[in-house]
Homo-oligomer: A and B are copies of this chain.
Amino acid sequence: MTATASAGETAGGPAGGTAGGTTLSRAVRVLEAFGPDRAALSVAEIARRSGVSMATTSRMVAELVRLGLLERGADRRVRAGSRLRELASRAAPAGLREAAAPFMEDLHAVVGHHVHLGVLEDARLLVVERLSAPDAVVDASRFGGRLPAHASSGGLVLLAHAPAEIRERVLAGRRERFTAATVTDPARLRALLADVRRGGFAFCRGHVHPRAAGIAAPVRDARGRVVAALTAVVPNDAGARAQVSALRVAARGVSRALGARPA
């Protein structure tokens, strides 16, 4: 089809070029014939759904079965193989926001109020994604906004796992007090960060606003580094603590979607 393709055909045999393009696009059409509600198909059904001829579909299915991307059952019906999903999830790990989005939606549907995702930038918490509800409790954070790391639950999680020099910079700098509960004393802040590291979450009642409680848990990447904090901001009442487990479970889910292995 292109000059490169023709050169390839000459150099490398009939595997690529026009034939390759056609083969790959047909393979994609064959795979697209499957879906959650049509998990098992006969070759005839695949041919009909994909618009690929029976002869070609038949060959294509045989080859995809050989590669493990499709599986053939005892009834001769064909299903997408688990190797297809493995290949895709290994080759295309989701980006941070993409990985977090479904977990944030689930968390928000259950916990309500505010759910956000933050990263550390200049020793502050930067909110990179946020879900809120109209009747939610007051929340000082804004999408794209920044909060001091020492005051917010997400900031504490990130600070707890940050390189020592960033932690020391925050401990040496000016630390704004928002409420009577904001931890600004260096010794108390150090102890709090150690607690957060040990416990695997931060739970802050009224550190930024007396009426709000922040709960945050770390999100790790494929190398195990803490790259973000998943936070819920809920009313500062007796029910707040009950959301800690949900935050921790969701943050582990986001980490997995980023390729992290469970600890």
- Interface, chain A (partner B; CB < 8 A): 2, 4-5, 7-8, 11-28, 31-32, 34-37, 39, 53, 55-56, 58-60, 62-64, 66-67, 69, 79-82, 84-85, 87-94, 98, 102-103, 105-107, 109-111, 221-223, 241-246, 248-250, 252-253, 256, 258-259, 262-263
Additional A-B contacts beyond A15-B56, A102-B256 (20; CB < 8 A) = A4-B58, A4-B62, A8-B55, A8-B56, A17-B59, A19-B19, A19-B23, A20-B23, A20-B27, A28-B69, A36-B93, A36-B259, A82-B92, A82-B94, A84-B88, A85-B88, A106-B256, A111-B245, A242-B244, A246-B246
Select A253's contact among B103, B241, B242, B244, beta carbons within 8 Å. B103
Contact A67 to B28, CB < 8 A, known contacts A55-B11, A87-B88, A242-B242: yes
Residues of B with C-beta under 8 A to A262: 102, 105-106, 109
Contact A92 to B84, CB < 8 A, known contacts A24-B64, A248-B246: yes
Complex alpha-carbon distance, A137 and B67, angstroms: 45
Residues of B with C-beta under 8 A to A19: 13-15, 19-20, 23
Q: Which residue of B lies closest to A8 (CB)?
A: B59
Complex alpha-carbon distance, A44 and B134, angstroms: 51
Please provide the 3 A-B residue pairs with the shortest distance between their CB atoms, ordered closest to farther. Answer: A36-B259, A88-B88, A36-B222
* B98–A82 touching, CB < 8 Å: yes
Complex alpha-carbon distance, A60 and B17, angstroms: 8
A40 to chain B, nearest CB (A): 12
Contact A85 to B80, CB < 8 A, known contacts A22-B15, A262-B109: no
Residues of B with C-beta under 8 A to A111: 245, 249
* A16–B245 touching, CB < 8 Å: no
**26 A–B pairs (Cβ distance < 8 Å), ordered by A:** A7-B55, A8-B55, A12-B53, A15-B22, A16-B26, A16-B55, A16-B56, A19-B19, A20-B60, A24-B63, A25-B63, A36-B90, A36-B93, A36-B221, A84-B92, A85-B88, A102-B256, A106-B256, A106-B262, A107-B249, A109-B262, A110-B252, A243-B245, A245-B245, A250-B253, A253-B253
